[in-house]
Amino acid sequence: MAGTDRVEVTGTRQRQAWVDGVLPPVEQVRPGLSSIPVPIPNNPLRYVLVYAIELPDGVAIVDTGWPADVAWDALVSGLAEAGYAITDVRGILVTHHHPDHSGLANRVRQASGAWIGMHPREAWSMARLPDSASLARATREWLVARGAPADAAREVGEVPFDLADLAATKPDRLIEDGDVPLAPHVALRAVWTPGHTAGHLCFFDESAGLLLSGDHVLPRISPNISLHTGTEGEQSHAYQPSPANDALGDFLESLTLVGKLPVDEVLPAHEYRFRGLDARVHQLQVHHEHRLAELLGLVVANPDSTTWDLAERLSWSRPWAKLGRMRRAAVGETLAHLVLLYRRGQVTNAGRDVDSWRAA
């Protein structure tokens, strides 16, 4: 089915569970490969799909889940339903450092002795994690520099979880692009796909035509492609774009890369399994080009706007006021699009302390 011109749902039970607003079942995707849904508390994504891969002496897992007891219980019971104990885990492949993917990795390691592997760029990000109070303060300063009112920056800049679990998740192994971390037993090749994060990894099994896509390619929604405090040296002044921080440009290049792989079925970290990777890649590319055009039009019509102003005017899946804390991600995504427009020579930032975008 590689090369299809449309997206075809293969995880039909997962999709029905998504429609019904319930947790999908544990499923055997292929012999020796199971998907385990792990809930994300109070989050519209609802759950992350952890993949369990059978090894001769136990099991490896791709991602772990949110750092919360309810997620831990679901992971332990899901592994048991797939035929494994938590103590059977030998290795943990982390697609990226976000808490719904890496949040339980250290706890699993403590329970099982498993090694943790991730891309060097993710290890770098994890090593720089501050405490929650410091991150909240830096985020508020960053939002004010993007043009957020002080009260909104305080509300949106909160950190809703303890960073201690993530800070303890130091990798035992670094996984580079092209590595086969479970060799010789499983021919799962790491594919470096920066964009959603700088060190995001997909895992590709060419013999089975399977791509474990993490958050890089999802069947229904576009992953958040953002710049934020930390990706810019935690500056608290007007943002001056740099080629080193072109998250959206990186993402679009990574999309082109995976779109060329001979993939029969995509196993994403959220929502449900599907076929038609090349069709989905094309949809995402078109979506972002439309977004860039919409944003450029706003800059032309509203010169000297801040990033916050522009984000507020963009079209979102729900009204701006109802986005709540997700406004921080929306501002970061708007900034990522502005940086790509800057690299294309279409906008400039004339601000000194606060962003002020103009058409070039």
Question: Using CA atoms, how far apart are residues 213 and 223, in angstroms rounded to an integer?
Answer: 11
Does the pLDDT at position 327 exceed 90? yes
Specify the pLDDT at position 235: 47
What pLDDT does residue 8 have? 97
Amino acid at site 280: R
Q: Give me the residues paired with residue 191 across strands.
A: 202
Instruction: Tell whether the model's pLDDT for residue 204 goes beyond 60.
Output: yes
Q: Considering only CA atoms, which of 248, 245, 244, 259 is closest in space to residue 225?
A: 248
Q: What is the mean pLDDT of residues 47-64?
A: 98
Let me know: does 193 contact 258? Beta carbons within 8 Å.
Answer: yes
pLDDT, average across residues 230-258: 75
Helix 277-301 crosses helix 247-259 at what angle (to 10 degrees)? 160
Residue 304 has pLDDT above 80, yes or no: yes
CA–CA distance, 195 with 248 (Å, rounded to integer): 6
The answer, yes or no, to whether residue 234 has pLDDT greater than 50, is no
Confidence band of 1 (pLDDT split at 50, 70, 90): very low
Instruction: Indicate whether 320 pLDDT > 90.
Output: yes
What confidence score (pLDDT) does residue 151 get?
Answer: 93
pLDDT at residue 225 greater than cutoff 70: yes
Q: Provide mean pLDDT across the span 149-165.
A: 83
What pLDDT is attached to residue 238? 65
User: Pick from 30, 16, 24, 20: which is nearest to 48 by CA?
Assistant: 24
**In this structure, what token pair is assigned to residue 271?**
């929502």
Place of tokens 């831990």: 72
Contact 86/150 with Cβ under 8 angstroms?
A: no
Residue-level pLDDT at 135:
86
Higher pLDDT, 31 or 127: 31
* Strand duo 47-55 + 58-62: pairing: antiparallel
Reduce the secondary structure of the chain to three states and give it as a string: CCCCCCCEECCHHHHHHHHHCCCCCCEEEECCEEEEEEECCCCCCCEEEEEEEEECCEEEEECCCCCCHHHHHHHHHHHHHHCCCHHHEEEEECCCCCHHHHCCHHHHHHHHCCEEEECHHHHHHHHCCCCHHHHHHHHHHHHHHCCCCHHHHHHHCCCCCCCHHHHCCCCCEECCCCCCCCCCCCCCEEEECCCCCCCCEEEEECCCCEEEEECCCCCCCCCCCCCCCCCCCCCCCCCCCCHHHCHHHHHHHHHHHHHCCCCCEEEECCCCCEECHHHHHHHHHHHHHHHHHHHHHHHHHCCCECHHHHHHHCCCCCCHHHCCCHHHHHHHHHHHHHHHHHHCCCEEECCCCCCCEEEC
Classify residue 270 by burial, with Cβ atoms within 10 Å: 0-12, 13-18, 19+: buried
- State the pTM of this model: 0.94
Contact 94, 122 (CB under 8 A): yes
Q: Could you confirm whether domain 8-131+161-288 is CATH 3.60.15.10?
A: yes
- The predicted-structure confidence for 27-55, as pLDDT tens digits, reads as follows 999 999 999 999 999 888 999 999 999 99
Q: Model confidence over 6-18: pLDDT tens digits? A: 999 999 999 999 9
Q: How many Cβ atoms from other residues are within 10 Å of residue 147's Cβ?
A: 23
Calculate the average pLDDT of the chain.
Answer: 93
**pLDDT score recorded for residue 232:** 43
Amino acid letter, residue 109: R
Average pLDDT over residues 91-102: 96
> What's the rounded Cα separation, in Å, for the pair 26 and 87?
19
